[in-house]
Chain A
Amino acid sequence: MVVFPPTTPDELVSLIVAIITSREFIRIICFPGFIHLTLVVIFLTWYERKLLARIQLRIGPLYAGGPGGILQPLADGVKLIFKEVMIPYKADKPLFIWIPLFLVFFAAVPFAVIPFGQNWVIANLDVGLVFVFAMTALFPSLILIFAWASNSKYPFLGGLRSLFQQVAYEIPMWISALSVAMLAGSLNLVDIVDAQSKIWFIVPAFLSFIVFFISIMAELERLPFDLPEAEPELVAGWFTESSGAIFMVIFMALYMKLYLMSALTTVLFLGGWWGPAFIPQPVWFIVKTLVVASFIIIPRGVYPRVRVDLLLRAGWTRLLIIALANVFLTAFLLTSGVLKPWGL
Chain B
Amino acid sequence: MDAISVPPDAIFISLAAVTLIAAILALQARELIYGAIALGISFIGIAGFFAFLDAPYLAMLQIAIYVGAVVVLILFTIMLVRREALDELQERPEGGEGAVGLWLAGLLAVAIAGVAALAAPQLPAEPPPANLPVANLGPVLATEYPVPLLILALLMSAALLGALILAKVER
Q: Would you list which residues of chain A between 121 and 153 have a CB under 8 Å from chain B?
A: 125-127, 130-131, 133-135, 137-138, 140-141, 144-145, 148
Residue of B nearest to A133 (CB): B64
Complex interface: chain B residues within 8 A of A4 (CB): 4-7
Contact check, B79 vs A160: say whether CB atoms are below 8 A apart.
Answer: yes
Contact check, A145 vs B64: say whether CB atoms are below 8 A apart.
Answer: no
Contact check, B72 vs A185: say whether CB atoms are below 8 A apart.
Answer: no
With A127-B57, A185-B135 as known contacts, state yes or no: A141 contacts B67, CB within 8 Å: yes
Complex interface: chain B residues within 8 A of A2 (CB): 1-2, 4
Complex interface: chain B residues within 8 A of A148 (CB): 33, 79
Chain B nearest Cβ from A58, distance in angstroms: 39
Q: Does A15 have its Cβ within 8 Å of any Cβ on chain B?
A: yes
Q: Does B146 have its Cβ within 8 Å of any Cβ on chain A?
A: no
Contact check, A138 vs B134: say whether CB atoms are below 8 A apart.
Answer: no
Q: Would you list which residues of chain B between 22 and 72 have a CB under 8 Å from chain A?
A: 33, 36-37, 40, 56-57, 60-61, 63-64, 67-69, 71-72
Contact check, A145 vs B33: say whether CB atoms are below 8 A apart.
Answer: yes
Contact check, B33 vs A137: say whether CB atoms are below 8 A apart.
Answer: no
Complex interface: chain A residues within 8 A of B72 (CB): 140-141, 144, 163, 167
Contact check, B68 vs A127: say whether CB atoms are below 8 A apart.
Answer: no
Contact check, B4 vs A137: say whether CB atoms are below 8 A apart.
Answer: no
Q: How many interface residues does chain A have, given as a range?
A: 20 to 34
Main secondary structure of the interface of A (DSSP, over half): helix
Whole-angstrom distance between the alpha carbons of A172 and B32 in the complex? 31
Contact check, B1 vs A18: say whether CB atoms are below 8 A apart.
Answer: yes
Q: Does A197 have its Cβ within 8 Å of any Cβ on chain B?
A: no
With A15-B4, A127-B56, A127-B57 as known contacts, state yes or no: A137 contacts B37, CB within 8 Å: no
Residue of A nearest to B55 (CB): A127
Whole-angstrom distance between the alpha carbons of A23 and B2 in the complex? 11
Whole-angstrom distance between the alpha carbons of A22 and B1 in the complex? 7
CB < 8 Å neighbour of A19 from B4, B6, B37, B64:
B4
Q: Does A294 have its Cβ within 8 Å of any Cβ on chain B?
A: no
Contact with A along B131-142 (1 / 0, CB 8 A): 001110000000
Complex interface: chain B residues within 8 A of A186 (CB): 135
Q: Does A177 have its Cβ within 8 Å of any Cβ on chain B?
A: no
Complex interface: chain B residues within 8 A of A134 (CB): 60-61, 63-64, 67-68
Q: Does A187 have its Cβ within 8 Å of any Cβ on chain B?
A: yes
Contact check, A137 vs B1: say whether CB atoms are below 8 A apart.
Answer: no
CB < 8 Å neighbour of B75 from A19, A127, A130, A163:
A163
Residue of B nearest to A135 (CB): B63
Contact check, B75 vs A167: say whether CB atoms are below 8 A apart.
Answer: no
Whole-angstrom distance between the alpha carbons of A140 and B135 in the complex? 30
Complex interface: chain A residues within 8 A of B135 (CB): 185-186
Q: Can you offer 17 A-B residue contacts whose CB atoms are under 8 A?
A: A4-B7, A126-B133, A126-B134, A127-B57, A130-B57, A130-B60, A130-B64, A133-B60, A134-B64, A137-B67, A138-B67, A144-B75, A145-B33, A145-B37, A160-B79, A167-B69, A185-B135
3 A-B pairs with least C-beta separation: A137-B68, A134-B64, A130-B60
